[in-house]
C-alpha cells in the first residue's frame, strides 16, 4: 500500500510538499501540484487513517452507543441507527456502532482510547450511568432521549409531554370522553425510560383539565401477552371510545384484536398511536399516529455533534435541549364517537 513517502518520491518532491499539495493548506506551484496529484492517482494513494488520526488528533469517526434489552422492540431501533449513520457519512464521518451490554465500559473504551471524535448516546435512562463518563470525556456527545439531568449535555428528543396532550386534545375535540392509554411495559419504566411517564403524566393532566376519563395502564412487549391485555382492557372499559398507544408492540398487535372483536376503526373505536411512519408502513398500521421521527432525531443529534466537534466556537456554545414537536399524521383512524 502506497504511503505519502511513495507519492513524494514518485513526484520527485519532499513528503511535506506532497502533503501540502494534497491538502491545499499551503500554496504549491500548479506544476508540482499536478505532478503530486498524478502520482497519488497512479499509486492509488489513500492516507492511513491511524497515522492521520495520530497527527491531527481527529479520527473522523463518531461513536453510536446503543443498548439492546432483551424485552425491547428491536425493529424500531434500526431507524435511529440509519438516521445517525447516513447523516454522519454526509458530513464526512464514519460510525462505530457499539451495542455492548455494559454501556459504561463501552463509552469509556471508545472515548479514552480516542477512537472517536464524538459520541451519540441512545436508549437514555432517566438516571443514566453513562452520563458522568460523557461529561468528563474530552469528546463532545449528544443524547437521543431525555435524562433526568441534562446539565452539560446536548439533548434531542420528541416532546412526549406535548404528544400526550395532543392525543387527548384531538380525541376530546372529536367528542370522546373516555379513553384508554396503553404505555410500555412496567420494566421499561423501572429501567428509567422517562418518555413513558412523560407522555402518560401529561396526558393524564390534560384529561383532567378537559374532564375526560383516561385509563392509563402499562402494556406488554410481546405476543400473546399484549393481545390478551388489549382484549382485557376493551372488556373492562366498554365505555371507552378512544385508544392511545405509546407501545410499538401493542400497536402492531391491535389490528388482529379489533378484527377478532368485530370492532370497526374509527367508527367503534378511535385510535392514535405514537410511532414512526416507517414503522407504520412496515406493520401496515392504518392508525392516526404521532410521528416519532427517529431518523430526524438521529440526524439532528449528529449535525449538532459535528458542529461541536469541528468548530472551536461551537465548542464553547451553551448546551441545548431540543424537542421535536409531535405532529399528528394521517388522521384516518379517529372520528367522533357513535351515540350510544
Q: Does 231 bind a second copy (CB under 8 A)?
A: no
> Toward a second copy, which CB reaches closer, 255 or 331?
255
Buried b (16+ CB within 10 A) or exposed e, 159-190: bbbbbbbbbbbbbbebebbbbbbbbbbeebbe
Alpha-carbon span 71 to 190, nearest angstrom: 13
Cβ at position 7, least distance to DNA in Å: 7
Stretch that binds DNA, among 9-17, 196-204, 211-219, 316-324 (CB under 7 A): 9-17
Instruction: Examine residue 224 and say whether the peptide bond preceding it is cis (omega within 30 degrees of 0).
Output: yes
DSSP per-residue letters across 238-274: TT--EEEE--HHHHHHHHHHHHHHT--TTTT-EEEEE
Q: Which residues contact 207 (CB under 8 A, 6 or more apart)?
A: 168, 172, 179, 213, 214
Cβ at position 43, least distance to DNA in Å: 10
Tell me how many residues contact DNA (CB under 7 A). 33
Cell triple for 29: 506551484
Q: Does 100 bind a second copy (CB under 8 A)?
A: yes
Cβ at position 114, least distance to a second copy in Å: 5
* End-to-end Cα distance, the chain: 78
Stated length of the chain: 340
Choice from 13, 61, 271, 306 touching DNA (CB under 7 A): 13
Alpha-carbon span 145 to 125, nearest angstrom: 8
By the 10 Å C-beta count (0-12 exposed, 13-18 middle, 19+ buried), 316 is classed as exposed
Choice from 38, 55, 97, 338 touching DNA (CB under 7 A): 55
Q: Does 65 bind a second copy (CB under 8 A)?
A: no
The helix (run of H) or strand (run of E) holding residue 195 is helix 194-210
Instruction: Examine residue 115 and say whether the peptide bond preceding it is cis (omega within 30 degrees of 0).
Output: no
Q: Does 86 bind a second copy (CB under 8 A)?
A: yes
Cβ at position 202, least distance to a second copy in Å: 29
Q: Does 28 bind DNA (CB under 7 A)?
A: yes
CB 184 within 8 A of CB 246: yes
Q: Does 44 bind DNA (CB under 7 A)?
A: no
> Toward a second copy, which CB reaches closer, 71 or 205?
71
Q: According to CB under 8 A, which residues from 266 to 285 bind a second copy?
A: 278, 281-284
Choice from 38, 42, 54, 338 touching DNA (CB under 7 A): 54
Alpha-carbon span 99 to 66, nearest angstrom: 5
Residue 78 touches which of DNA, a second copy, none (Cβ within 5-8 Å per kind): a second copy
Q: Does 264 bind a second copy (CB under 8 A)?
A: no
Task: Annotate each residue in 125-154 with x if it binds a second copy (CB under 8 A) or - if it does not, as one string.
Answer: -------------x----------------
Return the beta strands (E) in the chain as ranges.
61-65, 94-98, 118-121, 141-144, 154-158, 178-182, 213-217, 242-245, 270-275, 288-291, 321-324, 328-329
Cβ at position 248, least distance to a second copy in Å: 9
Residue 16 touches which of a second copy, DNA, none (Cβ within 5-8 Å per kind): DNA
> Toward a second copy, which CB reaches closer, 75 or 132?
75
Q: Which residues bind DNA (CB under 7 A)?
A: 1-5, 12-17, 19-20, 22-23, 25-29, 31-33, 45-48, 51-52, 54-57
* Residues near a second copy, by CB under 8 A: 1, 44, 46-54, 59, 61, 64, 68, 73-75, 77-79, 81-82, 85-86, 89, 94-100, 109-110, 112-115, 138, 222-224, 227, 249, 252-253, 255-256, 259-260, 278, 281-284
Amino acid at each position: 500500500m502506497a504511503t505519502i513517502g511513495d507519492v513524494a518520491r514518485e513526484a520527485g518532491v519532499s513528503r511535506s510538499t506532497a502533503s501540502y499539495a494534497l491538502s491545499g493548506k499551503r500554496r504549491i506551484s500548479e506544476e508540482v501540484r499536478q505532478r503530486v496529484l498524478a502520482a497519488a492517482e497512479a499509486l492509488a494513494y489513500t492516507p492511513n487513517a491511524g497515522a492521520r488520526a495520530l497527527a491531527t488528533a481527529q479520527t473522523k469517526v463518531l461513536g453510536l452507543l446503543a443498548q439492546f434489552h432483551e424485552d425491547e422492540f428491536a425493529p424500531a431501533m434500526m431507524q435511529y441507527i440509519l438516521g445517525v449513520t447516513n447523516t454522519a457519512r454526509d458530513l464526512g464521518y464514519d460510525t462505530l456502532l457499539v451495542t455492548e451490554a455494559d454501556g459504561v465500559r463501552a463509552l469509556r473504551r471508545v472515548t479514552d482510547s480516542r477512537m472517536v471524535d464524538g459520541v451519540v448516546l441512545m436508549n437514555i435512562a432517566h438516571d443514566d450511568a453513562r452520563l458522568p463518563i460523557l461529561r468528563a470525556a474530552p469528546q463532545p456527545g449528544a443524547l437521543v432521549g431525555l435524562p433526568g439531568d441534562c446539565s452539560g449535555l446536548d439533548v434531542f428528543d420528541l416532546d412526549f409531554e406535548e404528544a400526550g396532550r395532543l392525543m387527548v386534545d384531538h380525541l376530546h375535540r372529536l367528542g370522546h370522553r373516555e379513553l384508554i392509554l396503553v404505555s410500555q411495559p412496567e420494566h421499561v419504566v423501572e429501567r428509567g425510560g422517562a418518555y413513558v411517564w412523560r407522555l402518560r403524566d401529561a396526558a393524564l393532566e390534560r384529561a383532567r383539565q378537559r374532564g375526560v376519563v383516561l385509563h392509563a395502564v402499562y402494556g406488554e412487549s410481546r405476543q400473546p401477552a399484549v393481545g390478551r391485555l388489549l382484549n382485557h382492557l376493551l372488556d373492562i372499559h366498554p365505555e371507552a371510545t378512544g385508544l392511545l398507544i405509546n407501545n410499538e408492540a401493542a400497536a402492531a398487535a391491535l389490528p388482529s384484536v379489533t378484527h377478532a372483536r368485530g370492532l370497526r376503526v374509527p367508527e367503534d373505536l378511535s385510535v392514535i398511536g405514537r410511532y414512526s411512519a416507517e414503522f407504520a408502513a412496515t406493520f401496515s398500521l392504518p392508525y392516526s399516529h404521532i410521528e416519532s421521527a427517529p431518523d430526524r432525531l438521529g440526524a439532528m443529534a449528529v449535525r449538532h455533534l459535528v458542529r461541536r466537534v469541528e468548530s472551536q466556537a461551537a465548542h464553547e456554545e451553551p448546551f441545548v435541549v431540543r424537542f421535536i414537536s409531535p405532529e399528528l399524521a394521517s388522521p384516518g383512524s379517529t372520528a367522533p364517537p357513535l351515540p350510544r
